[in-house]
Amino acid sequence: MTVVALWYSGHSKKLMCAADSRFSRGKDEHTVRTTDSGPKIFPLPVVCREEQAALAMAWPVSRSYTFGFAYAGTALPALSTFALASACAQNLCSPPSGSGPVSVESVAELFREVADRYIREMSETLGVCDEISSYYFTGLIFGFCPVRAEYAAYKIQPWTETGLLEVRITPLPLGPGDLHLIGSGASTFLADSEKRRQEKGFHDPIKTLKAMLGEEWKKDVGGHIQYGECRQGDFRILPLITPTDGDPARWPVGFLGWDVSGMDVSGYSIGYNAIEF
C-alpha cells in the first residue's frame, strides 16, 4: 500500500502531489517490502489532433496538456489503467470543424471507465479464499483545467455499497488548506499533519511525509519521496537533489532513490530543475 498527498499551495499558486515509493505485499505483521523505488505519481499527457479537410490523412496537433495521475492500492490494475487510459488520452481526434478544450473531469471519466473494466476483469479470477479487494485501487486525476481555467482534481474509487462492484468518480475541492490523502497511511498522515497545523498554524505535507519515511511509522509506507507539481497547462515530476560537500553542480540528483546524475542520454544530463526536501 502507500500514502499519496495532494494539496494546493496558495503561496506558490501550484498544485502539488507527493507520495512514498514502497511497494509491499502482505498485511500487518506479515507485510514484506517488494521495492522502495516504486512509482506512484505520473505525468499524464493529453494530445488533441484535428483532421485537415484539404489534406488526406493529416492530423496536426491542435491542443496538448499535461495532467497528473497518482494511485494507492494494488499496482497491477492501477498501472494497467494508466497505460491504457494514457494511450487513449494521447490519441484524441476531432473532425475538421474542431472541438473545444479537454477538461480534467472528462479525462478522469475516461480513467474511471478503464479502471472499472480492469478491476471487474481481474476480480473475476479471484478464488473463494481471496479478498474481494485484492485488485482495488484508488486514483487521483488532477491538473490545470483549460475548460474551467482553474486547477481541478477527481478521485476514482471502487464502491460495493449496493452489493455490486462499481468505480465512482468524486470531485475534490482545492482551496487553501485542503489536503487530500489516499492509501493505507492516510489516517496516520492526517493525524500528524493536523498536529503540525495546530502547533504552527499551517500544515506541511512534505515534513509529515519525511517523518513517516524516516521513522517508518507503518511497514507498508516507506522508501523515498516522489514529488510532482502542476502549473498552468503543465504537470511534471521533479528530481530530488541531495546536498553534499563540494560543487553544487555535482550534487546527486535522483528519482525514487536512484541517482541519475551520472546518466548520459545522447549528450544530455538529467535534472535541469531539481528540488531539495
Q: Are 8 and 16 in contact (CB under 8 A)?
A: yes
What pLDDT does 50 receive? 87
Quote the pLDDT of residue 54. 63
Using CA atoms, how far apart are residues 42 and 45, in angstroms rounded to an integer? 10
Residue with cell 506558490: 12
Quote the cell numbers at residue 61: 496537433
**pLDDT of 30:** 78
- Rounded distance, CA 271 to CA 76, Å? 29
Cβ within 8 Å of residue 122, ≥6 positions away: 76, 77, 134, 135
Q: What gap in Å lies between CA 11 and CA 244, rounded to an integer?
A: 29
Q: What is the pLDDT along the chain (277 residues), one digit of tens a residue?
A: 689 999 998 888 899 999 999 999 887 777 889 999 999 999 999 999 988 766 666 778 889 999 999 999 999 999 999 999 999 999 999 887 777 899 999 999 999 999 999 999 999 898 877 888 889 999 999 999 999 999 999 999 999 877 788 999 999 999 888 999 999 999 999 988 888 888 877 678 998 999 899 888 888 899 999 999 998 768 999 999 988 888 887 888 999 999 998 899 999 988 878 888 7
**Domains of the chain and any CATH numbers:** 4-237 (3.60.20.10), 239-277 (no CATH)
DSSP 264-277: -BTTB-S-SS-B--
Q: How far is CA 19 from the centre of its chain?
A: 8
Tell me the pTM.
Answer: 0.92
User: Left, alpha or beta for 108 (phi > 0: left; psi -120 to 50: alpha)?
Assistant: alpha
Alpha carbons 43 and 110: distance in angstroms, whole number: 16
